[in-house]
Amino acid sequence: MSCPKVSVCIPSYNCARFLPAAIDSILGQSFTDFELIIVDDCSTDESRAVISHYAARDRRIVPVLNERNRGMVPNWNFCLELSRGEYIRFLFSDDLLVSPDALARMVDVLDSDRTVSLAASARHFIDETGTVLKTESRFRDKTVAEGTVIINRCIREGRNLIGEPSVVMFRKEQTGRGFDPRYRQLVDLEMWLHLLEQGRFAYLGEPLTSFRVHTGQQTRKNVQDLVHIDDMFLLLDDYLDREYIRQGAIARWFLRYNQSYRIWKLYRQGLLDQATVEQKIATHCDLRSFQRLLPAYKVCSPWFKLMNALAARSERSA
C-alpha cells in the first residue's frame, strides 16, 4: 500500500459530541490523498462508537482504540508513530477545519518550499455551539520568516504566537524525538520551536481552523494549576541560552523573573493566598532574591514592554 501525502491525526478523549464535526470537516476536504488516524485514549463516552461508525464508511480512516490510557502527550506521540504520511496535520477532536481547502493550502506551502519546516494559519475561536467568538491572526498573510526569528519572538513575548496543534502542518521527518513529555501545557510550542530550528516558518492569514473553547478542556485545567508558568520556566531553561537567541544578560534575567512575577500577581489579585504563591515561586527561584529584586523589576518592566512592542511592530512590517 502506497503511503499517503498527509497523515491527519485526531487524538481523541471524551469528545463524542464534537467528534463528528471534526471528522466531517476532514472528509470534506478537496485534497484527498490523506489517511485519518483517530487514536482514542480510553474514552468513557460514545467516542468509540462514533469512530467505528465513520471507519466503516471511509477506508482512509485508521481507528486505533488504546487498551490503556496513555495520557495526552504520549497519545500525541503515538499518533506520530502510527502516521505514514510525508506531512502531519493534527486536529483535536473538538476542533474542525473551516475551509474545504485547508489541507490543500498547507500542502501547497510545504510542497513549494522545502526550506519551510512549519506552516500555520489564522484561526477562529468558537464556543460549544460553534459560534465564532473571535478570529486571531498574529502574522501577515503569506508570511515566510526564518525559524530562529520566530523562536526569538516567541521567547521574547513569552507566548505561543504560532497556535495550537490543530492549526499547523509540518514534515514528519523533522519531528525527531516527538513531543517532549516533560511539558504539559506548552508541549506544542516546544515542538514548534524544535521544528523552527530546522527551517523556516510560513503563515497563511486565512482562518483555516476553528479552535473550540469549552469548560472541559485540559488547557483550562492546566492554567488553573499554573502548569503554563511551570512550562514557561522549563522552556526558558531549554532555549534561552541557545546561540541564536538575541537577548542580553539583563533581558534574560527579566524574562525569567517575569514568570515569578506572574505568580506573585495572583496573590496581589486575590486569586491565591500568600503562602501558596511564595511556595510556588520558591520552586523556581530564591524567594528572598525575588523579593529583593522586585523594585528593580518594576523599574525595568515598562522599558522592556516598550522594546518588545517596537520589536514586534518592526517584525510585522518587515
Q: Which of 105-109, 249-253, 281-285, 298-302 has the highest mean pLDDT?
A: 105-109
Residue 237 in this model has a pLDDT that exceeds 50: yes
Report the pLDDT value the prediction gives residue 259, as an integer from 0 to 100: 94
Average pLDDT estimate for 193-197: 98
CA proximity to 13, closest of 42, 46, 51 = 42
Tell me the whole-structure pTM to 2 decimals.
Answer: 0.93
Task: Give exposure, 138-160, as e/b (b: 16+ Cβ within 10 Å).
Answer: bbeeebebebbbbbbbbbbeeeb
221 pLDDT tier (thresholds 50, 70, 90): low
pLDDT-wise least confident of 59-63, 130-134, 310-314? 310-314
**Mean pLDDT in residue range 197-225:** 80
pLDDT, residue 247, reads 87
Average confidence (pLDDT) over 49-72: 96
**What sign results for the dihedral spanned by CA atoms 243, 244, 245, 249?**
positive
- pLDDT band at residue 248 using 50, 70 and 90 as cut-offs: confident
Q: List the grid coordinates of 5.
A: 501525502
- Identify which has the larger pLDDT, 23 or 302: 23
Q: What digits encode the pLDDT tens for the residues 8-30?
A: 999 999 999 999 999 999 999 99
Q: Answer yes or no: is pLDDT of 80 > 80.
A: yes
The predicted model gives 293-307 an average pLDDT of: 89
What are the domain boundaries of the chain?
Answer: 6-219, 247-317
CATH code of 6-219, in short, is 3.90.550.10
